[in-house]
Each structure stands twice: as structure tokens, then as C-alpha cells.
Structure 1
């Protein structure tokens, strides 16, 4: 699956980064960077958690 980000919706809360720090991070300007866009296995579970915790629904899995 692929992690997709709606950058316009992202407010930089960082909850997704806490759920999946090996997949994404906030840069110095609090903009989310997806480091590993294609996920499977254990990373898929972490990506699903990141999608769930986003308070503005800026992330999705496709």
C-alpha cells in the first residue's frame, strides 16, 4: 500500500510521526515528509496507526 498525504490539510501536529517514526517525519518547518511511501508488513500496521491518529485526516492509504 502507499501512504498519501494531503499537504494542504496537514497542520503539523506530529501524532503520525509518533505512530510511525520510521516512515515519516516533520521537517524544521513542521511540514510532514513521507520517508517510506510504499509500506507492507509491520510498516503497514504503523502506517495504519498514523492514518488513524491524524486529527485533520491528512493521511490515507491507497
Structure 2
């Protein structure tokens, strides 16, 4: 599984970080950093919930 970010949509709202802080981090400037772009399948439920929580649909999962 791979986390894909559409940077043109991301507004740094932090819903992903709130749902899965071990995979997403919003920086002071509002940019979002993916801490682990290819998490193991054991994290699928957590990462999927964080992706689904993005209000601007900037996140997706591949694989």
C-alpha cells in the first residue's frame, strides 16, 4: 500500500494527522508530510480512515 498526496488540494487541515499521527504530520507552515509513504498492511485500517477523513480529498491509497 502507498499513500498518495495531491499537493494541489492539500490545505493542511490536519484531519489525517489527528487520525494517524504516526503517518502524517502538519508542519508549522501548513504543509503536510507523510512520515511513512508505504505502511504495512497491518496499518491499512488506520491509514484508510485517515485518508477518508480528508475533507478536501487530497489523499488516496494505492495498492
Normalised by the length of structure 1, the TM-score is: 0.92
Q: Where do residues 8-47 of structure 1 align in structure 2 (5 Å cutoff)? A: 8-39=8-39, 40-41=41-42, 43-47=43-47
Number of residue-to-residue matches in the alignment: 61
Q: Secondary structure at the match of 1:60?
A: strand
Residues 1-54 of structure 1 show CA distances to partners (whole Å, capped at 9, x for unaligned) of 00000011001110010011000100111111000011220x211110111110
User: Which stretches in structure 1 are left out of the alignment for 5+ residues?
Assistant: none
Query: What stretches of structure 1 move > 6 A for 4+ residues in a row?
Result: none
